[in-house]
Amino acid sequence: MKSDNVKTGMQQAPHRSLFNALGFTPEELKKPMIGIVSSYNEIVPGHMNIDKIVNAVKLGVAEAGGTPVVFPAIAVCDGIAMGHVGMKYSLVTRDLICDSTECMAMAHQFDALVMVPNCDKNVPGLLMAAARINVPTVFVSGGPMLAGHVKGQKRSLSSMFEAVGSYSAGTMTEEDVLEFENKVCPTCGSCSGMYTANSMNCLTEALGMGLRGNGTIPAVYSERIKLAKTAGYKVMEMLEKDIKPRDIMTKDAIMNALTVDMALGCSTNSMLHLPAIAHEVGFDFDITFANPISEKTPNLCHLAPAGPTYMEDLNEAGGVYAVMNELAKLDLINLDCMTVTGKTVGENIKNAVNRDPEVIRPIDNPYTKTGGLAVLTGNLAPDGSVVKRSAVVPEMLVHEGPARVFDCEEDAIAAIKGGKIVEGDVVVIRYEGPKGGPGMREMLNPTSAIAGMGLGSSVALITDGRFSGASRGASIGHVSPEAALGGPIALVEEGDIIKIDIPSLSINLDVPDDVLEERRKNLKPFEPKVTTGYLARYAKMVDSGAKGAVLRS
């Protein structure tokens, strides 16, 4: 066992003395040592129940013959961090989570790991760590929140942000906003729509790293506790069979995940996280891979914010396995990939049933014949940009309008709420990329303000930052190269015409090349907004959003 390096032999007597200090018995030290990475804290709603999940995992590991040992991972609540300097610290935690987990696992020589994440950066951060450490690993998450109910309709966090926009537009009273405030987030769990956290939890199933239901069983269901115990059993089976993350997270598995992403209509943030996970397994994932996959993968689900259904509905309809089974009917899924069950994808999904064709459309009756995400390129985004196509209203799939240019998110929000943005405009928010932000902030506040003020079907928003999974509309992020690197988005001037054609996968600035070249000559060098602390170090090391915003040494 790997843990023998810290437990067995005369040279390890000092180590054992420290295990004695921890209260370990000789019997425990004879068993495999299983690290349980707990993302529990008391500030993130999706993590407040993780202590119960961890306890259930510990029980499962112990019953199956292992010695469970818990250590922590940090987590940021994107909703609480939204719209202020805190959002600069969101994406950057993904790499902190990965690095710190690697440090703990390697320093203490765990034989296997159970990862217990839930929210946006914890799931990809721990998937990256799993690939890097490469000991048998199972994922079991905290689970999604139940939808809220306001005035007889299911609602979620995105509804809350849009309510604020409606209040600014004068179409909602303070009392109405208060009702939303008190009802849209009724339980613990990751927010109830197909936002980033739930997207990535669902993709753990598609990758083969999470058990059936990991992405969809609600946080408050006792079934989630049973799943956690099963994860404890399964990690011991994986240890016995020596099945490791790199045996599971192959190129084919990552392409399976991208295919499921398209069918589910996942968050655009998956186009940051899948490349980063691929990077850890040595697979050079280009975001333009999304387009050929999208062209042949039908969009089968319209969960909030794209539609009126929520994670609890997807769970009742059969979950991720039912979606994968539909996709398998068109041979869109590689069925031979290994999973944490010890079985192949094909074996796992063969009995999955679609129990609600309104929540999971059958493969012959999709919402659209193309997938939920699209990568747009053109002279404004030579290296690509990302849009959640399934959440764009039909009249905005092709749009042309004047640029309204802002060099930070706060200025854009002030203009939107001040009534300075009108129908037809294209709001440009730049210098918010991985280096420029730094940290590539999410833009849920401006997108929600646009929707709440009734401009969602007439105004587009583009940025070198990124969008929350809760964003909807013609919101185009990850514009690369970013402004801080001198990308074309830095050359846009107020009133320039921007042409967006999502079906044709293009985004272009209607300005002659010679004019752009002249502007480039006069472009002032970028001055970093942050020069000290972790953000400054991050900005120096981070790569392009088009490559997953991974850190380069």
For residue 305, cis peptide bond before it (omega within 30 degrees of 0): yes
The answer to whether residues 247 and 200 touch, using CB atoms and an 8 Å cutoff, is: no
d(CA 431, CA 149): 38
Three-state SS at 469: coil
Q: Please give the structure tokens belonging to residue 150.
A: 């306001």
Tell me, yes or no, if 468 is annotated catalytic: yes
d(CA 122, CA 198): 11
Q: What angle do CA 212, 215, 218 make, to 5 degrees?
A: 100
Residue 278's alpha-carbon distances to 129, 136, 245, in angstroms, are 12, 18, 12
d(CA 46, CA 117): 9
Residue of 468, 471, 475, 480 with catalytic role: 468
Rounded to 10 degrees, the C-alpha dihedral 121/127/128/133 comes to 140
> What is the secondary structure of 518-542 as a DSSP string?
HHHHTPPPP--S--SHHHHHHHHHB
d(CA 231, CA 448): 38
Q: Which amino acid is at 394?
A: P
d(CA 516, CA 498): 14
Question: Tokens 């990475």 correspond to what residue?
Answer: 37
d(CA 48, CA 309): 24
The answer to whether residues 206 and 337 touch, using CB atoms and an 8 Å cutoff, is: no
The answer to whether residues 114 and 55 touch, using CB atoms and an 8 Å cutoff, is: no
Contacting residues for 493 by C-beta, under 8 A, at least 6 apart: 403, 405, 519
d(CA 332, CA 296): 8
Three-state SS at 114: strand
The answer to whether residues 459 and 402 touch, using CB atoms and an 8 Å cutoff, is: no
Residue 242 exposed, middle or buried by CB count within 10 Å (0-12, 13-18, 19+): exposed
Residue 316 exposed, middle or buried by CB count within 10 Å (0-12, 13-18, 19+): middle
The sign of the torsion formed by the CA atoms of 28, 102, 530, 43 equals negative
Residues classed as catalytic: 468
